[in-house]
Structure 1
Amino acid sequence: MDDMMPLMTHATERTAGLVRAVRQEQLGASTPCAKFDVKDLINHLEWVAEMFESLGRKGPNVEQGPYAGDFPERAERMLAAWSRPEAWEGTSPAMGLPMTMLAHMYLVDMVVHGWDLARATGQEYEPDPEAVSRALDFTGRMAETGRQRGAFGPPVAVPDDAPRFDHLLGLIGRDPAWTP
């Protein structure tokens, strides 16, 4: 918890700031995540925040609801749930996975979807290098499982000397050179 919570908080706050800056006319724009336009991506982020809040309280899986436009508020509740030491203990009853693994899954979502949103809406985005490192290490171990479950696309080749963030994007199926 001690090293993950600051990474989760920073990534969440950064993504919430990106969401707040989205203009109404951008909601239909395409994103690097092929299955989502901007509005769908924000709706996905809303669900991720609500889901991980529930998981952080050892609660049930949560179904995705309709777009509500309240990601920043949901994200604050999620961070509050995970700021409790007991959130990090044991295994999630709903998912059957260690809580630390779930925290890493959340971090990957915030870092990558933050980039998706920034790219789609023309905003600046520079993820925390330590968050990228943790997300890349975790994703490197979980990429095949993620692909089997439909969370990641086929890998995109990136040059060996590319930044670590580009390697993370390529590993999960994003083209780091994507533009709208």
Structure 2
Amino acid sequence: MIDDRVLLGGVGLLERAITYMLGALHEVSPRQLARPTPCGQWDLRALLDHIDESLVALHEAAELGHVYLAPEAGAGPDDPVAAVRARAGRLLGAWTSTSQVSVTVGDAGLTTGILTTAGAVEVAVHGWDVARSVGRSRPIPPSLAEELLALSPLLVSELDRPALFAAPVEVPARAAPGDRLVAFLGRRP
């Protein structure tokens, strides 16, 4: 059973996920941007560009009430770590001052709680990906991971696999919540 407070507290979850992800960015240096990541064919620079695009979409939702699905064309920033840090700060500011209660993504309407919760899953797991890419073990905090793990089956269906997520990876039942979360999303903890 999912606690309604979790769905309603999506902005809080997003804030905690961003805080975790920002901690992983402290480990990244410019010479590591070509390293492979747990995300298929992406190197670390491509992953950081993707995180930045996700933060842009979440920012659009807070400020405009809708998300454009077509990303802007062009090269990523020279310093993707600095770009993600700056974008994350602006995003949190936008969500703390918004009055949006629903948003449109493409043609679909969503509550802001669902959108920010989905954003929290994306940001936290990609924060884990960043840490792994630079050879660090930085588990997702257990309480955050438990909440995101409870919601992930509502946000990621079999239709999302294999296009957006790999098949779940089997882990022991007693694995840490962060390991179970990343395994559900197709990563090997």
- The aligned amino acid for 1:12 is I
- Name the CA distance, whole Å, in 2 between partners of 1:4 and 1:97: 12
- Name the CA distance, whole Å, in 2 between partners of 1:160 and 1:64: 42
* Alpha carbons 1:42, 1:67 under 8 Å: kept: no
- Secondary structure at 2:45 match in 1: helix
When the two chains are superposed, the root-mean-square deviation of aligned CA atoms in Å is 2.2
Tell me the percent identity: 25
* Alpha carbons 1:29, 1:37 under 8 Å: kept: yes
- Name the CA distance, whole Å, in 2 between partners of 1:29 and 1:120: 6
Structure 1 unaligned segments of length 5 or more: list them.
none
- Name the CA distance, whole Å, in 2 between partners of 1:52 and 1:146: 23
- Secondary structure at 1:96 match in 2: strand
* TM-aligned CA deviation for residue 13 of structure 1: 2.5
Structure 2 unaligned segments of length 5 or more: list them.
1-6
Q: Which residue of 2 aligns with 1:7?
A: 13
What whole-Å deviation, never above 9, does each CA across 1:20-72 have from its counterpart, x for those lacking one? 43111111101111131100010001101111000112143151553212111
- Name the CA distance, whole Å, in 1 between partners of 2:67 and 2:172: 41
Task: Tell me which of the two structures has the higher relative contact order, counting C-alpha pairs closer than 8 angstroms and 6 or more residues apart.
Answer: 2
- Name the CA distance, whole Å, in 2 between partners of 1:81 and 1:15: 18
* Alpha carbons 1:107, 1:131 under 8 Å: kept: no
Q: Which residue of 2 aligns with 1:17?
A: 23
* TM-aligned CA deviation for residue 151 of structure 1: 2.1
After superposition, the Cα gap between the structure-2 partners of 1:64 and 1:153, relative to the gap in structure 1 and judged at 3 Å, is: farther
- Name the CA distance, whole Å, in 2 between partners of 1:14 and 1:27: 19
* TM-aligned CA deviation for residue 4 of structure 1: 3.5
Residue 60 of structure 1 pairs with residue 72 of structure 2: no
Q: Which residue of 2 aligns with 1:171?
A: 184
- Secondary structure at 2:99 match in 1: helix
- Name the CA distance, whole Å, in 2 between partners of 1:12 and 1:93: 21
* TM-aligned CA deviation for residue 9 of structure 1: 1.7
- The aligned amino acid for 2:15 is T
* Alpha carbons 1:4, 1:103 under 8 Å: kept: yes
Q: Which residue of 2 aligns with 1:45?
A: 51
Q: Which residue of 2 aligns with 1:115?
A: 128
- Name the CA distance, whole Å, in 2 between partners of 1:92 and 1:133: 27
After superposition, the Cα gap between the structure-2 partners of 1:169 and 1:6, relative to the gap in structure 1 and judged at 3 Å, is: same
Q: Which among 90, 95, 99 is matched to residue 102 of structure 2?
A: 90
Q: Which among 9, 31, 37 is matched to residue 31 of structure 1?
A: 37
* Alpha carbons 2:8, 2:113 under 8 Å: kept: no
Q: How many residues align?
A: 175
- Name the CA distance, whole Å, in 2 between partners of 1:120 and 1:30: 6
- Name the CA distance, whole Å, in 2 between partners of 1:122 and 1:40: 17
* Alpha carbons 1:146, 1:152 under 8 Å: kept: no
